[in-house]
Amino acid sequence: MSGQIALPLGWPPRQNEDAFLVTPSNERAAYLLDHWGAWPVMTALLTGPRKSGRTLLARIFAIKSGGTVIDDADRVPEEELFHAWNAAQAARRPLLLVADAAPPVWEVALPDLRSRLAAGIVADIGAPDDRLVHALLEAQFARRGLDARADLVDWLVPRLERSHVAVMRAVDALDQEVLETRKRLSVPLARTTLAAAGLIADLKRSEQP
């Protein structure tokens, strides 16, 4: 219909999206959570940037271990975390705290909580490597039903900022452009769209064929 305004769509997780993509950027975190029985104490900290899959990894951990997860732990009252830590040790039931970063970046004021957190391991998810960026692009394009051919994905991988959020924003921008213009996804369309949105990390490199 002419004149129709294209609106951005939310993409809720599908029920079958329960596979955590493991690459060198996150394999140590996945390993540490899979071997929770070897933790020095029954509480660990999972850190990493938002959109990195940390919530999914924590959910998988909870299912496999029968443990408890506190998401956004750095926004939870410290007294509550202190009691949760003690309860986990008493019950010998693993507790996973999910946060943006570990102390001291996460400023913990309560000395008793700070010392307890220091006794546990930190499973950190790093910035996505090329392999993960490639897999994320393919998964997100497929999820939206977009015909993203291999040459486009290969072109995008070295040009996007190394962050999970940047990958999502790039796919969102291309999805919106296709929706509005009805054009086919291509390298020229991606170059124009992502440069205009400020999502290409290396503009000179992006103009190369």
Q: How confident is the model over 171-192, as pLDDT tens digits?
A: 999 999 999 999 999 999 999 9
Q: Which two tokens stand for residue 89?
A: 């040790």
Cβ 30 vs Cβ 108: under 8 Å: no
Angle between helices 130-143 and 164-181 (to 10 degrees): 30
Architecture per CATH, domain 130-206, reads as Orthogonal Bundle (1.10)
Give the Cα separation of 107 and 109 in Å (integer): 6
Task: Return the domain boundaries, the chain.
Answer: 27-124, 130-206
The per-residue pLDDT for range 91-125, each reduced to its tens digit, is 999 999 999 999 999 999 999 999 999 999 999 99
**Strand locations in the chain (E):** 43-47, 68-70, 95-99, 122-124
Architecture per CATH, domain 27-124, reads as 3-Layer(aba) Sandwich (3.40)
In Å, how far are 40, 66, 116, 194, 201 from 125, measured between CA atoms? 20, 22, 21, 26, 21
Nearest CA-CA partner of 162 in 200, 202, 206, 127: 127
The per-residue pLDDT for range 146-174, each reduced to its tens digit, is 999 999 999 999 999 999 999 999 999 99
* Entry pTM: 0.78
**Strand locations in 31-162 (E):** 43-47, 68-70, 95-99, 122-124
Q: Which two tokens stand for residue 74?
A: 């750095």
Average pLDDT, rounded, for the chain = 88
Q: What is the CA radius of gyration of the chain?
A: 20
